[in-house]
Amino acid sequence: MSPLPTPITRTDFGTVKTAIHRRLIQKLNLDKLTEVNREEVRREVGQILEALVVGESTPMNLQERERLSQEVLDEVFGLGPLEPLLADPSVSDILVNGHKRVYIERRGILEQTNIQFRDDAHLMAIIDRIVSAIGRRVDES
């Protein structure tokens, strides 16, 4: 009986996630994505992503591979690390106070989460995605 793979650390997971995300973006024909239905694109990207994750040399169990795939899909199609909070109906507000401090309001109580962005540039990219959807822009000032 072969031993189970050791779960990867948070740092290793972040490194692998970033590498997979980069390789996925390189494989995608971004111009063609705008011509296809969103669900079809998500399904096709999911298949490419699964092949990349399976081919990854870092040992991961099934749960870690599924989490990695979901988080990369959230980066490509959603608001990255905020997606699980947006999907939680008990969360009434999300407050971001820097790339390492994300708070939520749940039932009127503010609580800090373990959600983090990679860095300030990652946070700004998500902010730009949010405001561009409503026709606004953000500058550093």
The pairing of beta strand 91-96 with beta strand 109-112: unpaired
Tens of pLDDT, residue by residue over 84-107, are: 999 999 999 999 999 999 999 999
What is the pLDDT confidence band of residue 37, given thresholds at 50, 70 and 90?
low
Q: Which two tokens stand for residue 131?
A: 């405001």
pTM across the whole model: 0.67
Domain ranges of the chain: 10-77, 83-132
In the DSSP assignment, the letter for residue 7 is P
Confidence check: pLDDT of 36 > 70: no
Q: 24-32 long-range CB contacts below 8 Å, 24 or more apart?
A: 24/48, 24/49, 24/52, 24/72, 24/76, 25/76, 27/52
